A = this chain, B = another copy of it.
Amino acid sequence: MTTRNACLALDAEDSLAPLRQQFALPQGVIYLDGNSLGARPVAALARAQQVIEQEWGNGLIRSWNSAGWRALSERLGDRLAGLIGAGAGEVVVTDTTSINLFKVLSAALQVQNLRAPGRRVIVTESSNFPTDLYIAEGLAEMLQQGYSLRLVDSPEELPQAIDQDTAVVMLTHVNYKTGHMHDMQATTALIHECGALAIWDLAHSAGAVPVDLKQAGADYAIGCTYKYLNGGPGSQAFAWVAPALVDLVKQPLSGWFGHARQFDMESRYEPSSGIARYLCGTQPITSLAMVECGLDIFAQTDMASLRRKSLALTDLFIELVEQRCGAHGLTLITPREHARRGSHVSFEHPQGYAVIQALIARGVIGDYREPRIMRFGFTPLYTSFTEVWDAVQILGEILDQKTWDQAQFQVRNSVT
């Protein structure tokens, strides 16, 4: 079994280790939930203070111009683009992942109505993140044009599920439960062979694994900035559309920020060209501005380095859990194969919820997902090898001592 000293040695030679200083993490906590809410960049506080005191308080309405608020969604999109293989002018940071999925899925269905009318099936996975399923369901019902969802229960079933009726295939690149990662390029090629369009949800990918949307030939992508990108609680989501598709149709949430001439205040909508047509209403600026602090840290490294460390961390965690806790009925549900693994690791355990609560009480923060899934995120920007070792030790003690059996750990919170 890898020793704690060996982990200390790995940390000592880790070229990414100094980046941790740019995060404000509480004492006594091993944070393995950056896949759900990223840690706070130290700089975020000063940035928010600047927005609130200077830009809002002193600049007031003038800051829409002078502080660049009007262009902020697009400017942040440009900064984020490099992390996902998109180009400048192709990404906006705005609204929520749910809303952005509604926009791109609506657009994709319209494009298919032009190109391949009659296709009425949206293929996705039953294990896709629930809000993605709900949004597709809501859109299909709303349209009353015969659209339906076809859910597959495993990635292996995808090839058979995509056929001549398939308008769109909508997949989350890294599964929120299992950490399984699709081969984006191969899957997109498969989707295109069947004449369908590919929407990729990058919620658990952006900033976590290398993504190259253009290389993969993707059509649409959406994702989240509050997980691995460390944008802050609930920070705005992003949307990307392949340049060849973006101007073909309007998305239906046609608010004034997407208008070609917003402040001409015309009574008819005319979409901006390019990704700006995916903007809608006025964005909460303080939260949006802090997204940049997370991106500033990514600008100091590269996704290849982050991926190397991410895989080393998840490899180590799997190895140690299986060695230290092997007797306790944990089942790994995350792929061992590197090419199929994102940046979090999940184990099933019959008492998964209570074990996670007991871990949190000991300062090891992971999270729980129905059913029975204990989920641990590894963020190479701020997670050390020694933390992985310590977390597994504590997990082992909790399982050995059945600490999870205490009543306090069985009480369900409203957010799990």
Contact = CB atoms under 8 A, between A and B. Distances in A.
Given A56-B232, A96-B281, A284-B288, 10 more contacts: A26-B58, A33-B61, A37-B56, A39-B60, A51-B233, A60-B365, A64-B415, A130-B256, A134-B254, A287-B288
Given A99-B253, A254-B138, A255-B96, A57 B40 contact: yes
A287 to B, nearest CB: 3
Interface in A252-289: 252-256, 258-259, 262-269, 280-288
Contacts of A282: 96-97, 226, 234
B62 A365 contact: yes
8 closest A-B pairs by CB: A96-B281, A284-B287, A98-B255, A138-B254, A98-B281, A131-B256, A233-B285, A64-B415
Contacts of A111: none
Interface in A347-381: 360, 365, 367, 369-370
Given A131-B255, A255-B135, A95 B99 contact: yes
Contacts of A29: 60
Contacts of A233: 51, 55-56, 63, 69, 284-286
Contacts of A255: 96, 98-99, 131, 134-135
Interface in A60-81: 60-65, 69-71
A97 B369 CA distance: 32
Contacts of A51: 233
27 contacts: A36-B61, A37-B56, A40-B57, A45-B49, A45-B53, A52-B232, A62-B360, A69-B233, A95-B96, A95-B281, A96-B282, A97-B282, A99-B280, A102-B252, A106-B142, A133-B268, A134-B255, A138-B250, A141-B250, A142-B142, A142-B143, A232-B284, A233-B285, A234-B284, A237-B281, A263-B416, A287-B287
Contacts of A96: 95, 255, 280-283
Contacts of A60: 26, 29, 31, 33, 37, 39, 365
B52 A44 contact: yes
A413 interface: yes
A215 to B, nearest CB: 28
A154 interface: no
Given A138-B250, A281-B99, A53 B37 contact: no
Given A145-B144, A256-B134, A53 B24 contact: yes
Contacts of A151: 267
A21 interface: no
A44 B57 CA distance: 10
A269 B234 contact: no
A60 B283 CA distance: 23
Interface string A232-260: 11111100000000000011111110110
A2 interface: no
B265 A130 contact: yes
Contacts of A254: 134-135, 137-138
A182 to B, nearest CB: 18
A126 interface: yes
Nearest to A113: B144
A139 interface: yes
A286 B285 contact: no
A48 interface: yes
A138 B269 contact: yes
A265 B285 CA distance: 30
A290 interface: yes
A52 B415 CA distance: 20
A36 to B, nearest CB: 5
A232 B267 contact: no
